Amino acid sequence: MTVTTDDTVHGAAAGGLAAQRVTVAYGRQRVLDRVDLHIAPGETVGLRGPSGSGKSTLARVLALLHAPDSGHVTIDGRPVGGARHRLPVALRTRVAILFQSPRSATDPRLSLADLIAEPLRATGASRDQASARTADLADLVGLTPDLLARRPHAVSDGQLQRACLARALVHRPDYLLCDEATAMLDASTQAHVAAVVTDYQRRSSAGVLLITHDPALMSRWATRVVELPPP
Ligand SMILES: Nc1ncnc2c1ncn2[C@@H]1O[C@H](COP(=O)(O)OP(=O)(O)OP(=O)(O)O)[C@@H](O)[C@H]1O
């Protein structure tokens, strides 16, 4: 595992998801300053840095959820700009993100089955197509039909995170960004989530961004690590 603080050398490659000279400020606080990061298909890039160094911000920029003040995101060498929801479906569904806290990322009114199926329904899949895919994914992440029928308040954080993982995979993304996605899970759920992601990655050649404060997980999983400087 190599550790670098400058990813421009990798950013030169055409394939992959990349942040190029990305700068983000919240008001007068500059959080990212001309940051480069590149994720090639199939690789797992670890992103490390002290608290407040901008790891989550960079993940949100790469997920097209936050427009940088300058610089841009490219997919396979092509700049991708504008709000995520305005991008063509085929483009925006290439990148998925999994957050640390499943409760703040989910609609409490939806059953787990509907949470998983919703991105498919939103992009025009029929009810039958969406339920078939939901059943496959539920199986993959280890959610039983009984759990699928429940709403978030009636399941554990680990069960809800499994549903969020299924939802993240629903469009078969080429890039999966895991922002402390296993931090609040017990050891066995953490191992299961990591196994599902690595298996998906092996089958699909997806690129993964791994943000974690867990050094063991980082060294086990990341192919290489990029380090952000302190804020
Ligand atoms: N929406 C926002 N509005 C204002 N400031 C923000 C916002 N999001 C993040 N920040 C600030 O930007 C800085 C970087 O936050 P970010 O969450 O990207 O860092 P991080 O490296 O992921 O931190 P941690 O390891 O603690 O999760 C922090 O000082 C944070 O308070």
Domain residue ranges in the chain:
1-94+173-231, 107-171
Task: Give me the pLDDT at residue 1, please.
Answer: 60
Q: Is the predicted pLDDT of residue 60 greater than 50, yes or no?
A: yes
Share of the chain above pLDDT 70, in %: 94
- Closest residue by Cα to atom 31, ligand 1, is 52
Any ligand 1 atom below 6 A from CB of 54: yes
Residue 129 DSSP code:
H
* Mean pLDDT calculated for residue range 203-219: 94
pLDDT above 90 covers what percent of the chain?
77
Q: Which atom of ligand 1 is found nearest the CA of 59?
A: 18
Average pLDDT over residues 72-76: 94
Q: In sequence order, what are the residues at sequence separation of 6 or more whose Cβ sits closer than 8 angstroms to the Cβ of residue 2?
A: 224, 225
At 79-97, the pLDDT tens digits run 998 777 788 888 889 999 9
ipTM of the prediction greater than 0.90, yes or no: yes
The CB of 56 under 6 Å from ligand 1? The reply is yes
Query: Which atom of ligand 1 has the smallest separation from the CA of 53?
Result: 21
Residue 213's SS3 state is coil
Q: Which of 37, 47, 48, 53 to mutate to test the pocket of ligand 1 (most atoms within 8 A of CB)?
A: 53
Is 50's C-beta closer than 6 angstroms to any atom of ligand 1?
A: no
Has domain 1-94+173-231 been given CATH number 3.90.850.10? no
Per mean pLDDT, which range of 19-28, 81-90, 114-123 is the poorest? Answer: 81-90
